[in-house]
């Protein structure tokens, strides 16, 4: 939590779980504050200056925002309103390029045979890269068996939205109706409990609703965060108690939110966004059984956003009379 003290020229960052002051920032006449999805604190001052803080001292992002009054957030990004509500400034927060590149995960490899064989993949793009993915055309390039190829990427229709509730105790499991439930004593049980909850479908859910009472270690949260980003899963926190700061940040960075309600029949279901990537394959190249020789690298150029991933790939249904080609 952050609180602006306009008269005292201070912004206080509070740890709501420990109920103590975490950081005191010096900012001239702060008017409004807002936590972004990228876990940065945005600070708007009386002078029309916009600051960003993650650590150390706040850095100046913009100035000259005349009569700027309040901050808010939309799916598109940050919004700054003027005092009359007639003018607004809209901005998009871009995380570091190096971190964004790894937010695509290839899954469900397949192939199309015939005269023009193709490799087919499903691609999941995690937040915040997903919200920045353009609606216009994107370009795909691939490298496989020493060959360079150009492919295509198109949005894929989402299947039925599904969620899984992760509870810290079994006492309320009967209230969840048809929602799959996994009961965790601690975060170390995450993967095994989730596997059990999804055994009927065999696929990961579109969203996870995590009981804030579950004790997570930093390693547990890192594992959950990685799984969510790599599979396009939104994580929500069920506020049975005040969520820890790391869990609250994880929730926002995966596109979810903290739910200040205990009504389990009103849980959100977010569509699991995915794309289909197709890459033409040479008919005269067959990899050996070694994953290193069969590695397929895919790069997606989406304007200001670049994504990449690698996956071992052995085509199915090709003419096996072709001779293996050394990479």
Which band of pLDDT confidence, cut at 50, 70 and 90, is reported for residue 132?
A: low
Residue 319 pLDDT more than 60?
no
Mean pLDDT across the chain: 78
Question: Who contacts 295 (Cβ-Cβ below 8 Å, separation ≥6)?
Answer: 144, 310, 311, 312, 313
Q: Which fold has domain 98-158+273-312?
A: Immunoglobulin-like (2.60.40)
Mind listing the pLDDT tens digit for each residue in 151-207?
998 887 655 556 777 777 655 544 555 667 777 788 888 888 877 777 766 677 778
Which band of pLDDT confidence, cut at 50, 70 and 90, is reported for residue 277?
A: very high
**Quick one: CA torsion of 227, 229, 231, 233, rounded to 10 degrees?**
90
Higher pLDDT, 318 or 124: 124
Give percent of the chain with pLDDT exceeding 70: 76
Examine domains 98-158+273-312 and 163-266 and report if their fold is the same: no
Residue 300 pLDDT more than 80?
yes
Place of tokens 């990961």: 204
Place of tokens 């975060």: 187
d(CA 254, CA 320): 43
Taking the domains of the chain in order of start, what are their residue ranges?
2-91, 98-158+273-312, 163-266
Mind listing the pLDDT tens digit for each residue in 133-156?
666 678 899 999 888 999 998 887
Mind listing the pLDDT tens digit for each residue in 28-58?
888 888 887 667 888 888 888 888 888 888 8
The answer to whether the CB of 236 falls within 8 A of the CB of 268 is yes
Q: What's residue 38's pLDDT?
A: 65
With respect to CATH, is domain 163-266 assigned 3.40.50? Answer: yes
């Amino acid at each position: 939590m952050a609180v602006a003290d306009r008269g005292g020229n201070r912004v206080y960052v509070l740890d709501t779980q420990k109920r103590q002051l975490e950081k005191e920032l010096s900012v001239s006449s702060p008017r409004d504050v807002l936590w972004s999805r990228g876990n940065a604190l945005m600070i708007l001052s009386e002078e029309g200056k916009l600051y960003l803080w993650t650590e150390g001292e706040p850095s100046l992002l913009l100035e000259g925002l005349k009569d700027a009054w309040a901050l808010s957030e939309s799916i598109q990004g940050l919004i700054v309103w003027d005092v009359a509500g007639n003018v607004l400034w809209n901005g998009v927060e871009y995380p570091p390029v190096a971190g964004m590149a790894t937010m695509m995960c290839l899954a469900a490899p397949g192939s199309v045979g015939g005269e023009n064989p193709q490799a087919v993949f499903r691609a999941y793009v995690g937040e915040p890269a997903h919200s920045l993915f353009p609606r216009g055309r994107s370009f795909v390039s691939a490298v496989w068996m020493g060959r360079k190829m150009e492919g295509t990427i198109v949005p894929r229709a989402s299947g039925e939205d599904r969620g899984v509730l992760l509870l810290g105790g079994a006492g309320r499991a009967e209230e969840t109706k048809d929602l799959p439930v996994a009961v965790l004593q601690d975060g170390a049980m995450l993967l095994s409990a989730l596997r059990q909850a999804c055994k009927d479908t065999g696929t990961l859910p579109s969203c996870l609703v995590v009981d804030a009472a579950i004790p997570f270690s930093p390693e547990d949260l890192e594992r959950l965060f990685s799984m969510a980003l790599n599979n396009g899963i939104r994580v929500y926190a069920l506020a049975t108690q005040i969520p820890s700061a790391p869990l609250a940040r994880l929730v926002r960075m995966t596109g979810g939110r903290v739910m200040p309600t205990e009504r389990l029949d009103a849980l959100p279901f977010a569509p699991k966004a995915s794309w289909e990537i197709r890459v033409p394959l040479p008919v005269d190249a067959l990899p050996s059984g070694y994953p290193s020789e069969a590695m397929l690298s895919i790069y997606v150029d989406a304007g200001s956003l670049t994504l990449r991933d690698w996956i071992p790939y052995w085509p199915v249904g090709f003419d096996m009379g072709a001779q293996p080609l050394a990479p």
